[in-house]
Structure 1
Amino acid sequence: MSKKEEDYIKKFNQTRPITSQFLVKHKEIKRTKTNKPYLELILQDKTGQIVGRMFDKKSYNQYEKMEINKVYNIVGKIQEFPQYSNKYNILIDRILISKKYDEEDFIRKIENHEEHIQYLTNTIKEIKDKELKQVLNAVFNDEEIYNKFIQAPAAKKHHHNYKGGLLVHTNEVIEICKSISTIYENINRDLLITGAILHDIGKIETYDYDSELIEIKQEGIMLEHLFIGGCIIKEKMNNLNISNDTKIAIMHLILSHHGKVDLGWGSSVDPKTVEAIALHQADDMSAKITKFLEI
Structure 2
Amino acid sequence: MDIETLETGQLITDEVLLVAEARLLVDRRGQSYYSLTLNAEGGRQIEGKVWADNIAAAIEAGKGLEVLARVDEYRGQKQLNIQRYKVLGPDDYDLAAFVRTTDVDVDPAFETLFDWQRNEFTNANLKRLMAEFHDNEAFAAQFKESPAASHHHHNYRGGLIEHTLQVWQLADALSRAHGGPFDRELLLCAVALHDVGKVKSYRLVGGVSERTDVGELLEHIFISGSMVSNLWDTAVRPGVPEELAEQAARQKALLLHIILSHHGKLEWGSPVLPRTPEAVLVHFCDLLSSTLYKCFDAIQQAPEGELWTDNVYIMDQTRRLFVPPHDEGAG
Please indicate the TM-score interval, normalised by the length of the shorter structure.
0.7 to 0.9
Residue aligning to 2:79: 91
Does the Cα contact within 8 Å between 1:45 and 1:108 map onto a contact in 2?
no
Report 1:155-166 matches (<5 A): 155-166=149-160
User: Paired residue for 2:218, among 208, 223, 226?
Assistant: 223
1:128-170: per-residue Cα shift (whole Å, max 9, x none)? 2413333222322233322322222212232222232211111
Residue aligning to 1:290: 293
User: Paired residue for 1:249, among 237, 247, 254?
Assistant: 254
Q: CA deviation at 1:76?
A: 4.3
Does the Cα contact within 8 Å between 2:71 and 2:78 map onto a contact in 1?
yes
Residue aligning to 1:21: 16
Structure with bigger gyration radius:
2
Percent sequence identity is 26
Residue aligning to 2:320: none
Bigger shift: 18-27 or 123-132? 123-132
1:101 and 2:96 correspond: no
Q: CA deviation at 1:276?
A: 1.1
Q: CA deviation at 1:59?
A: 6.5
**Residue segments in structure 2 that go unaligned for 5+ positions in a row:** 27-31, 241-246, 302-331
Alpha carbons of 1:199 and 1:74: their partners in 2 closer, same or farther (altered >3 Å)?
A: farther
1:156-196: per-residue Cα shift (whole Å, max 9, x none)? 23222223221111111111212211221113332222111
Report 1:1-295 matches (<5 A): 7-8=1-2, 12=4, 17=10, 19=12, 20-28=15-23, 40-45=35-40, 47-52=42-47, 54=49, 58=51, 65-72=58-65, 73=67, 75-77=69-71, 89-98=77-86, 99=88, 100-111=92-103, 112-121=105-114, 125=118, 127-130=120-123, 131-186=125-180, 187-209=182-204, 211-238=206-233, 239-240=235-236, 241=240, 243-261=248-266, 263=267, 265-294=268-297
Alpha carbons of 1:91 and 1:118: their partners in 2 closer, same or farther (altered >3 Å)?
A: same
Report the residue type matching 1:96 in the other structure.
Answer: R
Instruction: Write the distance in 1 (CA, Å) between the matches of 2:119 and 2:205.
Output: 33
Report the residue type matching 2:286 in the other structure.
Answer: D
Instruction: Write the distance in 2 (CA, Å) between the matches of 1:256 and 1:191.
Output: 14
SS of equivalent residue, structure 1 residue 108: coil
Q: CA deviation at 1:279?
A: 1.0
Alpha carbons of 1:199 and 1:244: their partners in 2 closer, same or farther (altered >3 Å)?
A: same
Alpha carbons of 1:196 and 1:92: their partners in 2 closer, same or farther (altered >3 Å)?
A: same
Instruction: Write the distance in 2 (CA, Å) between the matches of 1:255 and 1:169.
Output: 17
SS of equivalent residue, structure 1 residue 181: helix
Alpha carbons of 1:66 and 1:14: their partners in 2 closer, same or farther (altered >3 Å)?
A: closer
Q: CA deviation at 1:51?
A: 4.0
Alpha carbons of 1:123 and 1:30: their partners in 2 closer, same or farther (altered >3 Å)?
A: farther
Alpha carbons of 1:78 and 1:159: their partners in 2 closer, same or farther (altered >3 Å)?
A: farther
Q: CA deviation at 1:277?
A: 1.5
Bigger relative contact order (CA 8 A; separation at least 6): 1
**Residue segments in structure 1 that go unaligned for 5+ positions in a row:** 1-6, 32-36, 83-88
SS of equivalent residue, structure 1 residue 75: strand
